[in-house]
Structure 1
Amino acid sequence: MWVAWLITPNKKMVVAIIDKTESVREGRQHLSLTWVLNNEKYSKTHKKLYDVSNDYYGFYPTKKSEFKIKGLERFSSSQLEQLSNDCDVAYYADTYGIYNKDWAEQNNLPERGAGMIYGGMSQQDIDFLKKVKSKKKLVISEYNILESPTTAEIRKQFENLYGFKWSGWTCRYFDSFDPSENKDLPSWVVNNYKVRNAGKWPFTKSGLAFVSSLGEVVILEDLVHLDNPLPFISLSKGEQTNFHLKDNVKFPFWFDIVVPDAAINRVVANFNIGFNQKGLDELNKHNIPTNIPAIISHEGNDYQFYYFSGSFSSTNTLSASSSHYKWISAFKYFLYNEDDTLESISFFWTFYQPLMVTIFENYYKKIGTYRGK
């Protein structure tokens, strides 16, 4: 399998990867993307494949708990124009950023004060995306590109550019709302709810936490508001065929709730969530949309665009070296545990990998059009 991969010819496809939330050298926030590119032998030059630690724009952790910032903010207009000419694809993996407190805790450093070190979409990002769109090239973006620390003005420009809006709400599944049992339950979710509810936190079951941009928290519990609390990504039969995906793939991570312009974008996949009537009433009470897209797309002759409502390309358990084996996906059922609810590797093998293989394969066939071939 390694020899077969080694002798497979490279296919040059220049992908400008933007990741402003990468806090480790292993590139965990965009590792899934780089894995697919390398496994499929897409290369940044005719000879060089992608290096997960170096081939992206954004936050660069270095040795000795230090870092460098190599984002598009340092680019002039002419440099952005050159990058938009050089690249075939722009992929915004994560723009949430790095915060002083988190960086200090991760590296056992004294805290340098509150606030952000680096993050959020910038005007340079918008200018770059406008240039890429005008050249009819592929743009893919993920959660969290729309929320804080991206400013409202920058977000509005992005929404207008690609024809959808953020509702102001995000959501995540938790297997327990008991803070004493679930250490992954963020304290700020509990505290924000208590502030608006007389200091009470009456939840212990599994369920969904909806969080607004204003800090409001709405909790839907299993057996109270939900017949099934675990979100699944669901596709029509046609879309399953188009992208070689199966229906109802679990997604127990953060996702945002967006509202697409149906005249511009189509909904490729939705989140399938088991709301009962009490749950629907609670959503309506807080003006939270009940139809929640997981993927929207625009695939016209004018430009090509995908938006993933979750952090699809992030993983903590994928081995970068395993991308150097051809046909390894044929053995994917031996590489993850389907019963592990919170395992990101199962999402990679059952959804992200076949999705991206199909998107890139279809797009690569079109690259020659704008290259003049």
Structure 2
Amino acid sequence: MNKKIGVLVCACLAAAVLLSAPLWHWIFLKDTEKLPMLIFNKTAEDDTLREHKGITWLLNHMKKTKEDGTSYSLADDYSGYLPASKKIRELPGDLSHYSHLYLADSYGVRSNKSGELIYGEMTLEEADRIQQSVKTNAQTIFAEFNTFAEPTEPEARRKLEDLFGLEWTGWTGRYFLDLGSDEVPEWVKRSYETQHSKTYRFSGQGLILVSEKEELMIVPEEDFGGKHPLSFSFTKQGKKELGLDAELKYNYWFDIMEPAGAKVLASYHLHVNAQTEAKLSEKGVPLSMPAVLHHSGRGYDAYYFAGDYADANDIPDFYQASGITDWKKLTSSDKKGRTDGFFWKAYVPMMKTILEK
């Protein structure tokens, strides 16, 4: 009996050691490295802080610390809107002590009742401060949707376009699993009914495209080209620079950009029928468009993600274990409108590669 108990105890201890190995590996074998990053999020609508949750989690998982050697706090280590207190943490006047800047979202926070902007938009003064700091201090900057679209000031947009080596076409879009769901903004439905003089009755999956001139295009499922309507893949340049090769469905917000000096590391592809392709062409909407752009300026690097990449809510609170990203990469999905597959299979590997350079 005692022998059986001893064997059982040894087996339990061995299992405990095996299961906890990723934790011990992360604690003792993974080195920490200082990587002071300024995170700017003007669209923190609630305490999930999902617009910059992804990048904060990844920095901590990679053991990239602030200048003082401490880990990043989701609630405390960003500039922008503070939903709990309804106060604003302004962009610092001096950005020189940061090695990296991350512009997570500039769309802003609006009143639930009136839709009036409470706080948001990238101002000219902020854009100028960011541009001067990046160029003067040879920093690495990241930005993603929504940085250029409304309500960002046109002058601020042009300054940031120059910094990132690109131009915004004026078009944004989003994939919806159900065009009849509450996820579709009310202003889209109102705009459609105004432009077409008929009731909005769409349902099923589809794409919604809107221009800064308030032109609206809805691509329902019957207009797809036999495939998921929007895919993401790395270009030859992206494979060379990042060492990544993946083709995934993309299921969220995006904006349509044109390179103006920047290299295209990944592209989106629209899959629609010939009739819809002709309609898109009339509006100047291409079937292939940049998804990830990299501009190397004089001493600085600028990466633009033409989508809501760091916007992630369904990620683990626990980050202190090796192998989490590999496990999530295997178990996540891009099916049925899910966004976690893209986050773990494209965004995380891409950011890990860039941040380890």
Task: Give the TM bin, normalised by the shorter chain.
Answer: 0.7 to 0.9
Offset at residue 202 of structure 1 (A): 5.9
SS of equivalent to 2:55: helix
- Tell me what 2:355 maps to: 360
Please tell me whether the aligned partners of residues 193 and 216 of structure 1 are also in contact (alpha carbons under 8 angstroms): no
In structure 1, what residue type is equivalent to 2:153? T
In structure 2, what residue type is equivalent to 1:147? A
Task: Determine what percentage of the aligned residue pairs are the same residue.
Answer: 29
- Tell me what 2:100 maps to: 89
SS of equivalent to 2:255: strand
1:127 maps to 2:146: no
- Tell me what 1:247 maps to: 246
1:346 maps to 2:341: yes
- Tell me what 2:25 maps to: 4
- Tell me what 1:329 maps to: 325
SS of equivalent to 1:228: coil
Please tell me whether the aligned partners of residues 237 and 263 of structure 2 are also in contact (alpha carbons under 8 angstroms): no
Offset at residue 185 of structure 1 (A): 2.4
1:67 maps to 2:86: yes
Please tell me whether the aligned partners of residues 232 and 273 of structure 1 are also in contact (alpha carbons under 8 angstroms): yes
* Structure 1 residues 180-207: Cα deviation after superposition (integer angstroms, max 9, x where no partner): xx23222322221121112244644432
Q: 2:64 aligns with which of 42, 47, 53?
A: 42
Q: How does 1:315-326 map to 2 (within 5 A)?
A: 315-321=312-318, 323-326=319-322
* Structure 1 residues 302-324: Cα deviation after superposition (integer angstroms, max 9, x where no partner): 32010000010011211232x21
Q: d(CA) in 2 for partners of 1:124 and 1:3?
A: 46
TM-score by length of 1: 0.83
* Structure 1 residues 126-167: Cα deviation after superposition (integer angstroms, max 9, x where no partner): 122222123221010000011111122221222233321111
In structure 2, what residue type is equivalent to 1:70? R
Q: d(CA) in 2 for partners of 1:270 and 1:114?
A: 33
- Tell me what 2:160 maps to: 158
Please tell me whether the aligned partners of residues 26 and 53 of structure 1 are also in contact (alpha carbons under 8 angstroms): no
Q: How does 1:127-276 map to 2 (within 5 A)?
A: 127-130=128-131, 131-177=133-179, 179=180, 182-201=181-200, 203-237=202-236, 239-240=238-239, 242-261=241-260, 264-276=261-273
Change (3 A) 1:146 1:238: closer
Q: d(CA) in 1 for partners of 2:142 and 2:221?
A: 33
Change (3 A) 1:229 1:191: farther
SS of equivalent to 2:312: coil
SS of equivalent to 2:155: helix
Q: d(CA) in 2 for partners of 1:162 and 1:280?
A: 29
Please tell me whether the aligned partners of residues 173 and 231 of structure 1 are also in contact (alpha carbons under 8 angstroms): yes
* Structure 1 residues 98-136: Cα deviation after superposition (integer angstroms, max 9, x where no partner): 1122xxxxxxxxx5x552111010123212222212322
Instruction: Work out which of the two has the higher radius of gyration on C-alpha atoms and give 1 or 2.
Output: 2
SS of equivalent to 2:107: coil
- How many residues align? The count is 334
- Tell me what 2:6 maps to: none
Please tell me whether the aligned partners of residues 245 and 350 of structure 1 are also in contact (alpha carbons under 8 angstroms): no
Unpaired runs of 5+ in structure 2? 1-21
Offset at residue 333 of structure 1 (A): 4.7
TM-score by length of 2: 0.87
Moved more, 53-62 or 160-169: 160-169
In structure 1, what residue type is equivalent to 2:146? N
- Tell me what 2:41 maps to: 19
Please tell me whether the aligned partners of residues 222 and 228 of structure 1 are also in contact (alpha carbons under 8 angstroms): no
Change (3 A) 1:153 1:300: closer
Please tell me whether the aligned partners of residues 256 and 290 of structure 2 are also in contact (alpha carbons under 8 angstroms): yes
1:289 maps to 2:286: yes
Moved more, 231-240 or 309-318: 231-240
Please tell me whether the aligned partners of residues 248 and 272 of structure 1 are also in contact (alpha carbons under 8 angstroms): no
In structure 2, what residue type is equivalent to 1:218? M
Unpaired runs of 5+ in structure 1? 102-110, 363-373
In structure 2, what residue type is equivalent to 1:11? E
Change (3 A) 1:269 1:339: closer
In structure 1, what residue type is equivalent to 2:279? E
In structure 1, what residue type is equivalent to 2:97? D
Change (3 A) 1:270 1:135: same
Q: d(CA) in 2 for partners of 1:128 and 1:183?
A: 38
Q: d(CA) in 2 for partners of 1:244 and 1:349?
A: 16
Q: d(CA) in 1 for partners of 2:61 and 2:115?
A: 40
